[in-house]
């Protein structure tokens, strides 16, 4: 290898490394975007489940079928 081809080879390798780093950065950005969306969806689902549980509890408290009162049925 001649000394004149070495800088060209190094420059080419550095360009390749730079390109790979940019691609990795893009992939990391995409992963972060997906993770953020997943966290938001999980939080939203959790809030929805909490609302549903609260509604079911409130409805069961008001239901005559789940009343804690004991009534005697005529026989």
Residue 75 has pLDDT above 80, yes or no: no
* pLDDT digit string, tens, across residues 5-48: 677 899 999 999 999 999 999 999 999 999 999 999 999 999 99
The per-residue pLDDT for 66 is: 63
Predicted TM-score (pTM) of this structure = 0.60
DSSP-derived secondary structure for the chain? --TTHHHHHHHHHHHHHHHHHHHHHHHHHHHHHHHHHHHHHHHHHHHHHHHHHHHHHHHHHH-GGG-----PPP-
């Amino acid at each position: 290898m001649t000394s004149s081809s070495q800088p060209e080879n190094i420059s080419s390798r550095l360009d390749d490394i730079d390109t790979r780093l940019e691609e990795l950065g893009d992939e990391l950005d995409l992963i972060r975007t997906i993770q953020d969306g997943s966290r938001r969806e999980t939080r939203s689902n959790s809030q929805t489940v909490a609302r549903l549980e609260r509604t079911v509890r409130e409805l069961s408290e008001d239901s005559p079928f789940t009343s804690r009162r004991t009534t005697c049925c005529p026989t």
